Every structure is written in structure tokens, then in C-alpha cells.
Amino acid sequence: MDMNKFENIEGGVCAAKGFKASGFYAGIKAYMQTGESAPSVPGKKNDIALMVSDVVCNTAGVYTSNKVKGAPVVVTKRNLAANGGRAKAVIVNSGNANTCNGDGEEKAQAMCDMVAQKLGISSDLVIVASTGVIGQVLPLEPIEKAIDPLFDRLSYTGNVEAATAIMTTDTVKKEYAVRFTAGGRECTIGGMAKGSGMIHPNMATTLNFITTDCAVSSEMLRKALSEVVKVTYNCLSVDGDQSTNDTCMLMSSGLAGNAEIACDGSDFDTFREALYQVMANLTRMLAKDGEGASKLVTCECTGAPNLDTAIIIAKSVIRSPLVKCAMYGADANCGRIMCAMGYAETDCDVTKADVYYISRAGKILVCKDGLGLSFDEDLAKKILTEDEIEIFVDLHMGDSSATAWGCDLTYDYVKINGDYRS
């Protein structure tokens, strides 16, 4: 699917009809350190976000497969199961993951209750998510004080405030939205994501919230999300560590006015392609903003016998620490690529594989039929010095292809994670 087929528009999670959002500085991390509520200070990064739909939405979600799951994941899954996959609001905080805490579920549920009370709805219509430090108790006091300001700030243009609030070690906010046509009506999908480290998903990645005004049944939302996650978020690796709080939510307000998409067909195909464009671009942003990263590194595996083989090979290359280090040092060592392909858990005849390095500076073949070649080292160095690099692998075994996204591994990654709690 094409990453740029549809018109890219502004607005993030507020681009689709019927969605308001807000963000606020509650001082959660400061409260954890001092036990006192921090005053709202202009210029402080928001650390709590709220998103509310004008109507109850059909909703689908995917989550971490880590055996250790954050309390918000447990509560959100329970809420959606209780009401048949419907939601009206999302509350999410950064600074504390609310994971590995004895009172975690109680506090995650309390966050849902606070929002539900303000809206006059059932608590199971609220989605809750958290990100930040694991294993430290989440204080509710600053969150309670933030609820009224969050509702006061709700706006159809509040996407930036919300996208900023969910950032932790992220250096930039991540938003993307597209416009498309389904059932003769103009529709929109928009999303926001956070994530910089502890990224190696299986089912989802980091925190991701996607909204659409295209009318789609809960069942077809789940189908589209699971299919697109497989070739986007599941093909992302920053450091090989899978988070405990990975959550991806897709909400449909249906306010575009199209006939609800309830089965396979051309409208569903268009919706899925638009969803792919949003999620693929958010995945790319997540990879480029990996903790300490200086380069976006992608691996495109083509010529595979099937999609699963292409995905496994591309992900194996992207997540290899040695490949990441080579990209950081602009070292065109094709042996590291071949090594990562060789231990990938799939049947692959590496004796047929060709490997290229590609960037704005050019393209160079470094491996042919599984064997390293002599090549222009100066050109290779120039190609790998760019801040966006593609490793292109052709297996010559079929017609399937997949792309995986990642980044280089730098000294700064160690610095960030050697002192994360402070």
C-alpha cells in the first residue's frame, strides 16, 4: 500500500468530525518526587491529555503481548469487552506508566470514573492509557486537579495540546491525518502517537490514538486495524524492548455520513488504505525519533515467497544491535545484514540475496547472491552518512515485500536510559 496515496491534512486526532482534545500540565512527575502538587507553569510540557467524541464511537484496540501489562491496558480491554467495542472518551497521562503497582487497576479505573462523571456516561465508555516510569505508584491527586482544566480546554483544534501531553522522551510530537472518499462522502482519518524508546512491538506499539468520521462497524474496525498493524507498528523496532503499556485505539464517530462499512468491498479497501497511510507515517515518525537516534533506518525486503517471510527478514535486520551500530558509524559492513537475515526465524535461501544501501546520496550494491562484493567505500560512506538510510534486500524467491522501520544506536541512547527515572 502507498504511504502517500491520499491528501495529507492538518489536525491529528481532531481532523475527523466530532472529536475534541485538550492537554494540561498536571505535574505528575513532580508530585512523584516531592509529594506536592506542582503549580501550572506556562511553558511546562503537558503531561495529561483528554479526547472526547461528540457521539459514542465504534472502537477497536490492539495491545502489548508482554506478559507484564500496565493496569490501563487491563482496564481498557475490560471496558471495551463490557460494552461491545464502544467508547466516547480517552484519558491518558505521561510520566508514570501505572504498571507493576498493587493499586494500579483501581487508579486506572478511577481515571475513567473521573471522566465519566464529568460527561454523565458509564465508565466503561472511557479508554485509559499511561506511559512513563514503570514500578512507581501513580499519584491520583494531580490528575484529579487536572480534570476540570482538561474539560475547560477541550477544543476541536486541541490536537497539538494532546499530542504534546503524551510525549515522554520523545523530542517531537507525532501526528498525521488524511482525507479520502467512501460511499460518496468525504471522510477523514487522523492520529497521534508517542514513543521513543522501549519499542519492539508485537500487536501494537507505544501509545497510539486514531480517529475517523468514516462510519465503520466495530467488527470491520478490528479487521482493518489488525491487518494494518501487522505491516506498520509491528514492523518497528527502536531497541528490541517491548513495552508493557503498548496500546493502539481506533475510534469511529461515523459523522461523515457514509453508509456504515460492515463488510468487505471497495469502501473497506479504501478505508484500510487510508488507515495504512496514517499508521505507516506515524510508524516512520516513531522510528526517526528513537531515543538518541541520529538516523532513520528502514529495511525493505522484496522478492520474498510470502508476506510473513518479508516481514520477519526486514524486522530481523532493523532490530540487530550490530546493524544499528554500523548505521551510526556509516560502516557499510554487509556481513552484519547477512548475519541478521541468517538468524531470522524463517526459511530463507540467503545464497540468492542481494543487498543495497540507498539514501539521498545514491545507491550501492554491497552483496550479490549472498556474497560480499568489492565496492566504492567512499560512495558507501557518503550514502550511510545521510540521516535517512534504506537497506534494500532482494531475496529473489517470490513477489512479496515488506518494510520495517528503525534507527541507529548511539551513545545518547545509553545516556538516556542510564538515568531514566530522574
Within 166-252, where are the H helices? 218-231
Strands (E), 10-141: 19-24, 48-63, 86-96, 126-133
Q: Which set of grid coordinates corresponds to residue 374?
A: 568489492
- CATH number of the domain residue 353 falls in: 3.10.20.340
**Same domain as 236, residue 311:** no
- The whole-chain average pLDDT of the chain stands at 91
Cα–Cα separations (whole angstroms), residue 375 to 32, 341, 391, 394: 55, 21, 16, 18
CA torsion sign for 47, 164, 247, 144 is positive
Residue 406: the pLDDT is 92
Boundary (domain end) residue, out of 254, 288, 322 = 288
Range of the domain at 363: 296-417
Instruction: Specify whether 205 is catalytic.
Output: yes
Asked if 156 and 181 count as a contact pair (C-beta separation under 8 A), the reply is: no
Which of 131, 205, 270, 298 is the catalytic position?
Answer: 205
Q: 105: helix, coil or strand?
A: helix
Distance from the first to the final alpha carbon of the chain:
42
Domain presence at residue 2: no
Report d(CA 261, CA 59) in Å as an integer: 14
Does residue 421 carry a pLDDT above 60? no
Q: 420: helix, coil or strand?
A: coil
Strands (E), 79-204: 86-96, 126-133, 174-182, 185-194
Q: Which set of grid coordinates corresponds to residue 117?
A: 462523571
Report d(CA 13, CA 190) in Å as an integer: 5
Higher pLDDT, 413 or 313: 313
**Same domain as 375, residue 251:** no
Domain presence at residue 35: yes
For 285-336, the pLDDT digits (tens) are 988 887 778 999 999 999 999 999 999 999 999 999 999 999 999 999 999 9
Its pTM stands at 0.89
**Same domain as 301, residue 277:** no
**Same domain as 350, residue 278:** no
**Same domain as 301, residue 201:** no
Residue 33: the pLDDT is 80
Q: Which set of grid coordinates corresponds to residue 302?
A: 522484496
Residue 420 pLDDT class (50, 70, 90 cuts): low
Contacts of 74 (CB under 8 A, 6+ apart): 105, 108
Boundary (domain end) residue, out of 244, 265, 288 = 288
**Same domain as 226, residue 345:** no
**Same domain as 318, residue 199:** no
Does residue 342 carry a pLDDT above 90? yes
Q: 276: helix, coil or strand?
A: helix
Average pLDDT over residues 220-241: 86
The proportion of the chain whose per-residue pLDDT surpasses 70, expressed as a percent, equals: 92
Residue 168: the pLDDT is 79
**Same domain as 302, residue 267:** no
Residue 42: the pLDDT is 63
Residue 195: the pLDDT is 72
Residue 203 pLDDT class (50, 70, 90 cuts): very low
Domain presence at residue 71: yes
**Same domain as 366, residue 232:** no
Q: How many domains does the chain fold into?
A: 2
For 350-405, the pLDDT digits (tens) are 999 999 999 999 999 999 999 999 999 999 999 999 999 999 999 999 999 999 99
89 φ/ψ sector (left φ>0, alpha ψ -120 to 50, else beta)? beta
Does residue 284 carry a pLDDT above 80? yes
Report d(CA 3, CA 276) in Å as an integer: 7
344 φ/ψ sector (left φ>0, alpha ψ -120 to 50, else beta)? beta
- At residue 199, φ and ψ (nearest 5 deg) are -125, 105
Residue 204 pLDDT class (50, 70, 90 cuts): very low
Average pLDDT over residues 28-47: 77
**Same domain as 336, residue 217:** no
3-state helix, strand, coil split of the chain in percent (to 5) is: 35, 30, 35
Boundary (domain end) residue, out of 288, 311, 330 = 288
Residue 205: the pLDDT is 43
